[in-house]
Amino acid sequence: MRDDRVAERIQDALSERFGETIHVDPTLAGLDELARIAGHCVHRKFLSRPVDDAQLRLLCACALSAPSKSDLQQGDILILREPAKRKAIAERLPDMPWVGEAPVFLVFLANGRRLPFIARLRGKPFPNDHLDAFFNATVDAAIVMTTFIRAAEAVGLGTCPISVIRDHAQEVSRLLDLPPRVIPVAGLCVGWPAEAARISPRLGLEITVHEDRFDDGDLGGRIDAYDRRRAARRPYAGPRDPARWGRAAFYGWSEDKARQYAEPQRTDFGAFVRAKNFRLD
């Protein structure tokens, strides 16, 4: 069965995202899901309408149905309901008022705690306490969050990931009573969108999709092309930290990201993770 309208919607979204025409077979199964993925947008303004508790539990169950490394199941979800704790986190992120305004705020956790417990419970050694244990848990948490976003969008909800909670990892950990070997990976605002959002252009597939071998040839030229394509659709409102860096004749994505990461960020995060009893060697 053909669905030319959905196929066209996917093609339009991907064209806006990547700047190229990607063929979409209108007879392909699953076009509605592909349309949601291709048209994904971040939402930062929400209606006051609450998210039903039963619906939220359903979405959590769907998210935790995601793939898990070796079936270790190390991604957890913390639903933050207590107003004082929500307020405390929101106050640490004054540039992100949606953290306090969203009907639901979740924190996705890397849980490296259960596996050593199971080893002790079953009287087995645990010789794999090294960097890979931390990596596995954080990847599991990221996959769970991504799956939650897909599930939320399927029912019409909007979301906004908040990775900046890691700027305050110690305080967030204390507020949420996170025990050793449990790390906050990211927050997520969830609610019913108050307005339509716009697709964010991404780097061209010629930069991020590789065949048979890694290839970043002409990376500077390709990034410049992306900068200009993106600026034509979604220009920045203004430059980052003009007092330090001045005003560039052309201000694009690469200039913005270079300025962003010219400042030290989360330099204490490794110490925080180690203090949580993860080994990073």
Domain layout of the chain by residue ranges: 4-38, 53-197
Distance CA 187, CA 166 (A): 9
Distance CA 161, CA 272 (A): 21
Mean pLDDT of the chain: 97
The answer on pLDDT for 3 being more than 90 is no
The answer on pLDDT for 91 being more than 90 is yes
Distance CA 227, CA 233 (A): 10
pTM: 0.96
Between the alpha carbon of residue 24 and those of residues 4, 29, 208, the distances in Å are 9, 11, 20
CATH class of 53-197: alpha beta
Virtual CA dihedral for 147, 86, 157, 33, nearest 10 degrees?
-10
Task: Tell me what pLDDT residue 2 has.
Answer: 78
Find out whether 199 and 183 touch, Cβ atoms under 8 Å. Answer: no
The answer on pLDDT for 128 being more than 90 is yes
Hey, what are 272's tokens?
Answer: 């925080």
Task: Tell me what pLDDT residue 269 has.
Answer: 96
Virtual CA dihedral for 21, 26, 28, 29, nearest 10 degrees?
120
Non-local (6+) Cβ contacts of 48 within 8 A are 103
The answer on pLDDT for 257 being more than 90 is yes
Distance CA 140, CA 137 (A): 5
Nearest partner of 46 among 243, 147, 190, judged by Cα: 190
CA 257, 258, 262, 267 dihedral sign is positive
